[in-house]
Chains A and B, each alone.
Chain A
Amino acid sequence: MDTENILEINSLNVYYNKKQHVLKDISFSMKKGEILGLVGESGCGKTTLAKAVLGMQRHYDGSISLDCPNPQMVFQDPYSSLNPSKKIGWILEEPMRMKKGKGRLNHTQRQEKVEEMLEKVGLDARIKEHYPSELSGGQRQRIAIAAALLCGTDFLIADEPVSALDVTIQSQIIRLLLKLHKEMGLSILFISHDLRVVYQMCDRVMIMRGGVILEQGYVDDIYKSPQSSYTKLLLEAANIIDF
């Protein structure tokens, strides 16, 4: 694996129930500190690919090399991504509480870390006393991002993190992800079906359809001169053919 890369996938095939071929011959790599967009229609295999990267797929062949011990994921639905019966403070503290031996933080240190992270994602520290059901969608998504970062990860899979939010909140979350990417050198695999959001967020983009990557490259190149007819169709549908 190239030391500059955080993720390398070669000839990946994923199957459901050993029969249904979901991902076909997927190969790509991702540089450290890069934001890679993954675009495609619903059911094309975006989330399956994300799960494969996280090691959540049983039936696959090919190779997945990830230079990150604890990859984290931010989900589309901010309502189901946080345990409803736990307070925000408990949720955010959990990975630190689980740490054993040297380097384990005491309660006060953990609280300080949580407050620090809440500030980083633009939330008031008092929010840790609340339950997820008492927060808005945008606040919950910020908490989900904070929870992922408190695991100490430098690789994040954002699976349609803004598609369940309204437009103003969407732009806040995108700005937050870009800020964290800049500050922490975070590598992000950004899954979306919104080409405008991908353009704002990503360095490179991959277009996926039917379990196959149709094309990949720098965002500007793909948006200006798409090679596949499907990409052209997507850009036309999004009304950004002359971006």
Chain B
Amino acid sequence: MRYVLKKLATTLITLLCISFLVYLAFDIIPGDAALASLGTDATPERIEAVREELGLNRPFMERYADWLTGFVRGDFGISYKYNVPVSEMILSKLPINVVMAVTAFIIMAGVSVPVGIYSAKHKGKGVDRLIIVVNQVMMSVPHFFMGILITYIFGLIFKIFTPGGFVSYETDLGGFILYMIFPCIAIALPKIAMSVKLLRGSCIEEAGKDYVRTAYSKGNNTSKVLYRHVLRNAMLPVITLWGMTLADMIVGSIVIEQVFNIPGIGRILLTSISYRDYPVVEAIIVLIALVVIVTNFCVDIIYQIVDPRISAQKNSLSK
């Protein structure tokens, strides 16, 4: 429990630092929202008036403190461009990105564990070599390019979905699911490859340890040894990868949105960057950081549950 509280405190401090750095970065970058909305032809008096109106002339720390307290309450400010609350803008698009990232994660975990185990179990055989080659290819292809390939193959050749024809879940849930499967696969495929490679290697490494020989000598067959003894230990590095992957998938979903023409947070982010709509950009970046940090926090906790050596080390260190 003490460890969890300690980790939670570190997480909050990290988040605070990130929010400060993000806010500071947008304050330092030349040009501001007033200039962006009026253009370079505007008179200095007019720019100054808009700055005053937006509160940009106030001291930095005062603005940051206001923004931070608002952020904690769920009030991310008002969009300079659309003049609507940022939280509303983000909340209306967030489900799309959450569905994409979570589905991609489930696909990745669901496929990579059995394939990784199968590959390790058949190490050196033809199927294992084939899996290694396919893995290598998938790992070297970035997900946006994978998205283009999937659009071409399943959208244009097999016509399973209409490229660019996004259907909202509010109008047609079935159509939404069918359309979203493909971007999710595009996000998941490179991660599946990494995960399979790591799990395969980890299983093979664990299988060479003495406790595995002991397990065999106790009368366990290969499947029992693999599932009862090897898998839990082999999963440790994979859990770390998955933690980083989940965060990466959320960021990846922003890119893949563009390929599949999905109106998610990525589109808002890109538009907001081009209009210097800082409240929106700051909120999205800090939210992404929040997801990354919270995911890492969860991974640390899961890691401690799965690997008793970590809690043992902590106990001995704290003594």
Residues of A within 8 A of B (CB): 54, 56, 70-73, 75, 77, 80-86, 94-95, 98, 131, 133-134, 144, 147-148, 151
Tell me the complex Cα distance, A10–B229, Å. 35
A133 engages B217 (CB within 8 Å): no
Using Cβ atoms and an 8 Å threshold, which residues of chain B touch A84? 211, 233, 307-309
A83 engages B217 (CB within 8 Å): no
A94 engages B312 (CB within 8 Å): no
A83 engages B219 (CB within 8 Å): no
CB contacts under 8 Å to A, within B205-225, are 209-211, 213-215, 217-220
A70 engages B219 (CB within 8 Å): yes
Residues of B within 8 A of A (CB): 209-211, 213-215, 217-220, 229, 232-233, 306-309, 312-313, 315
A98 engages B218 (CB within 8 Å): yes
Q: CB-nearest residue of chain A relative to B231?
A: A85
Q: CB-nearest residue of chain B relative to A94?
A: B218
Given A98-B220, A131-B308, A151-B218: 16 more A-B contacts, CB < 8 Å? A54-B217, A70-B217, A80-B211, A81-B210, A82-B211, A83-B211, A83-B233, A84-B233, A85-B308, A86-B229, A94-B218, A95-B219, A133-B309, A133-B312, A134-B315, A147-B214
A143 shortest CB reach to chain B, Å: 11
B210 engages A77 (CB within 8 Å): yes
A134 engages B312 (CB within 8 Å): yes
Main secondary structure of the interface of A (DSSP, over half): loop
A80 engages B209 (CB within 8 Å): yes
The 10 A-B pairs of least Cβ separation, nearest first, read: A81-B210, A133-B309, A131-B308, A75-B210, A133-B312, A83-B211, A95-B218, A80-B210, A85-B232, A134-B312
Tell me the complex Cα distance, A133–B213, Å. 19
A85 engages B306 (CB within 8 Å): yes
Known contacts being A83-B229, A84-B233, A85-B232, is A71 close to B309, with CB within 8 Å? no
A131 engages B215 (CB within 8 Å): no
Using Cβ atoms and an 8 Å threshold, which residues of chain B touch A94? 215, 218
Residue in B219, B309, B312, B313 whose CB lies within 8 Å of A98: B219
Tell me the complex Cα distance, A144–B219, Å. 16
Residue in A133, A148, A151 whose CB lies within 8 Å of B308: A133
Choose among A54, A133, A148 the residue with the greatest number of B CB atoms under 10 Å from its CB. Answer: A133
B169 shortest CB reach to chain A, Å: 40
Using Cβ atoms and an 8 Å threshold, which residues of chain A touch B209? 80
A142 shortest CB reach to chain B, Å: 14
B211 shortest CB reach to chain A, Å: 5
Tell me the complex Cα distance, A151–B210, Å. 16
Tell me the complex Cα distance, A83–B308, Å. 11
Q: CB-nearest residue of chain A relative to B214?
A: A81
B230 shortest CB reach to chain A, Å: 9
Q: CB-nearest residue of chain A relative to B212?
A: A83
Tell me the complex Cα distance, A84–B217, Å. 17
Tell me the complex Cα distance, A80–B230, Å. 12
